Chains A and B, each alone.
Chain A
Amino acid sequence: MAQKEPLLHLIAGSAECCNTFGVTGITATRSFDALIAADQRIEPRDEMPDAYRAGLVRQIAQHAHSEIIGMQPEGAWISRAPSLRRKAILLAKVQDEAGHGLYLYAAAETLGVSRDELEGLLLTGRQKYSSIFNYPTLTWADIGVIGWLVDGAAIVNQVPLCRCSYGPYARAMIRICKEESFHQRQGYELLHTLAHGSPAQREMAQDAVDRWWYPSLAMFGPPDGESTHSAQSMKWGVKRFSNDELRQRFVDMCVPQAEVLGLTLPDPDLRWSEERGHHDFTPPDFDELMRVVKGDGPCNAQRMAHRRAAHDNGSWVREAAAAHAAK
């Protein structure tokens, strides 16, 4: 227990700033360094520096929390899905997100923390989840846009993690990325149907793109200049590309997809740069991101209240299951 508290202390923090490590300068073992240098996977029984372990636990746990909290904005539309086919697709998607949370908590547990402890860190607000889920889902088109942009951004962020140096995390990400790309295609198809539907449906689709574009860009975290802890994470083979590189990749991917949809990305300065070989674009408002991270987003209180209510309302069930198992 004496060792647990410092670990729990190290792993608290914000989700956007957490695909980085907050602690540096810990002496690593030789075999660890050799494995990293050879770009080989670290497995649970291998020796590893405390800071590597703590940073990974924090990143994986916050990723898991994001999956769990992410069930809510879309879950809110399951009951109102406008066709039975869409209802089934959406319910299966939200169920997948719960599964992602499970795989990730299991990966974190291989590093010596329990799921109960990690859930405790979420419920007490000591660990964060991705701020994108603090925005509301106002219309049905938001379900399409979340699939297209939010799952899309998650994929761009997460595909490099399939090659992450920590084996259990990398393997969980391979499984998760397959499902996320399925979600993205379904969201895109939903949005395509709306964009080619009635004028009201089309308007709903454009409005949703307008509201979700910049929050999606913010999912990649602060600009590289302000992301102070990335270097260690890169060196340890957890993070493979910088926030700005991934954000650029995402923008370049979305532009042609928006054209096929016939929808406009809400950035008047978005244009192709021959010189850079990339699209120029307006960055998201990072001050807003930091405000939302700190708890001041439109839905922070609602998301946490929902999670705590589920946890509290379920305590008698968990107690009963434990009591029965003990009989």
Chain B
Amino acid sequence: MTDVLALADDALVAAQRLAWWCSRAHDLEEDIALANIALDQLGAARLLLTYAGELEGAGRDEDALAYLRGPDEFRNCLLVELPDEDFAWAITRLLFLSAHQWLRYGELAAGPDPRLAEIAARAVKESAYHLDHARLWTKRLGDGTPESRRRMTAAVAGLWPFTLELVENRAAWLEIVDGALADATLERPADPADPPTGGRAGRHTPHLAALLEEMQSLHRAHPGVTW
């Protein structure tokens, strides 16, 4: 269940961050594209949470898991909970996350758990599109104007330490990300000696508590009702 929750919470928190961009992107096409990606993440999160609830066997459905757990019960990586400083952060995070998700879903789609394989088979196709979108913008911004390059460099440097928490498939992940960065004429930062971790064990930054407080506020204000 822990593994399923990690995937589910990554997708749910990412959806919450991505949805914020709808009406705030630099043009209508990007409002639509980021909302699309948020909807994919939300859709995967719902299937995974439902499955996690069934595995747990305590009668918790997707909403009980999304709205009634505290931050220390969330298993998402720290990368997804950080706020976006600007569009460069949103794109860099999407690049790092979707490369990870694409690899994980790809593995699970061929894995022994048929239920998870079914969810992953659908999600891996969506991740491929998310990764394409992130690559395209990484290239445009990295190899765009001096300002966009400066912002991308800052985003890559700012988010890089948090990628060390994504321990599965690190070599394959680096291959994808190195390719995208090189294509954008950006450099891969050095790994920090003591990278931030703890998300998978429920130790989060204060940003997650703030995100959940907003997300859960209305649901929690009316216990037990139907929406």
Which of B31, B140, B217 counts the most chain A CB atoms within 10 A?
Answer: B31
Task: Tell whether, in the assembled complex, residue A314 and residue B35 are in contact, meaning their CB atoms are under 8 Å apart.
Answer: no
Interface residues of B in 173-227 (CB under 8 A from A): 214-215, 217-219, 222, 225-227
Given contacts A88-B42, A140-B218, A197-B225, contact A314 B32 (CB under 8 A): no
Task: Tell whether, in the assembled complex, residue B144 and residue A321 are in contact, meaning their CB atoms are under 8 Å apart.
Answer: yes
Given contacts A82-B222, A193-B226, contact A314 B144 (CB under 8 A): no
Given contacts A91-B19, A310-B23, A316-B151, contact A82 B145 (CB under 8 A): no
Given contacts A319-B144, A324-B140, contact A201 B222 (CB under 8 A): yes
CB of A4 within 8 Å of the partner chain: no
Given contacts A94-B23, A198-B222, A324-B144, contact A80 B214 (CB under 8 A): yes
CB-defined interface of B127-145 with A at 8 Å, one 1/0 digit per residue?
A: 0000000000001110111
Task: Tell whether, in the assembled complex, residue B31 and residue A98 are in contact, meaning their CB atoms are under 8 Å apart.
Answer: yes
**Cβ contacts under 8 Å, A321 to chain B:** 140, 144
A91 to B43, CA, bound (A): 12
Task: Tell whether, in the assembled complex, residue A316 and residue B23 are in contact, meaning their CB atoms are under 8 Å apart.
Answer: no
Interface residues of B in 49-106 (CB under 8 A from A): 49, 62-63, 66-67, 86-87
A94 to B36, CA, bound (A): 11
Task: Tell whether, in the assembled complex, residue B22 and residue A78 are in contact, meaning their CB atoms are under 8 Å apart.
Answer: yes
Binds B, one of A68-76, A251-259, A287-295: A68-76
A38 to B132, CA, bound (A): 50
CB of B171 within 8 Å of the partner chain: no
Given contacts A310-B26, A313-B24, A315-B26, contact A78 B19 (CB under 8 A): yes
Task: Tell whether, in the assembled complex, residue A317 and residue B26 are in contact, meaning their CB atoms are under 8 Å apart.
Answer: yes
Interface residues of A in 57-93 (CB under 8 A from B): 68, 71-72, 75, 78-88, 91-92
Which of B23, B86, B143, B214 counts the most chain A CB atoms within 10 A?
Answer: B23
Task: Tell whether, in the assembled complex, residue B139 and residue A94 are in contact, meaning their CB atoms are under 8 Å apart.
Answer: no
Task: Tell whether, in the assembled complex, residue B148 and residue A316 are in contact, meaning their CB atoms are under 8 Å apart.
Answer: yes
Task: Tell whether, in the assembled complex, residue A75 and residue B87 are in contact, meaning their CB atoms are under 8 Å apart.
Answer: no
Point out the residue from B35, B140, B141 that lies within 8 Å of A94, measured CB to CB. B35
Interface of B is mostly: helix
Point out the residue from A72, A105, A317 that lies within 8 Å of B87, measured CB to CB. A317
Given contacts A84-B42, A318-B27, contact A95 B22 (CB under 8 A): yes
Point out the residue from A80, A95, A98 that lies within 8 Å of B217, measured CB to CB. A80
Which of B30, B67, B87, B144 counts the most chain A CB atoms within 10 A?
Answer: B144
CB of A200 within 8 Å of the partner chain: yes
**Cβ contacts under 8 Å, B87 to chain A:** 313-314, 317
Binding site for B on A (CB under 8 A): 68, 71-72, 75, 78-88, 91-92, 94-95, 98-99, 101-102, 105, 140, 193, 197-198, 200-201, 306, 309-311, 313-321, 323-325, 327
A-B contact pairs, 25 of them (CB 8 A): A71-B23, A79-B214, A80-B214, A80-B217, A82-B218, A84-B12, A85-B46, A87-B42, A91-B19, A91-B42, A94-B23, A95-B22, A105-B28, A140-B218, A197-B225, A201-B222, A306-B23, A310-B25, A316-B148, A317-B30, A317-B87, A320-B144, A324-B140, A324-B143, A324-B144
Binding site for A on B (CB under 8 A): 12, 16, 19-20, 22-32, 35-36, 38-39, 42-43, 45-46, 49, 62-63, 66-67, 86-87, 139-141, 143-145, 147-148, 151, 214-215, 217-219, 222, 225-227
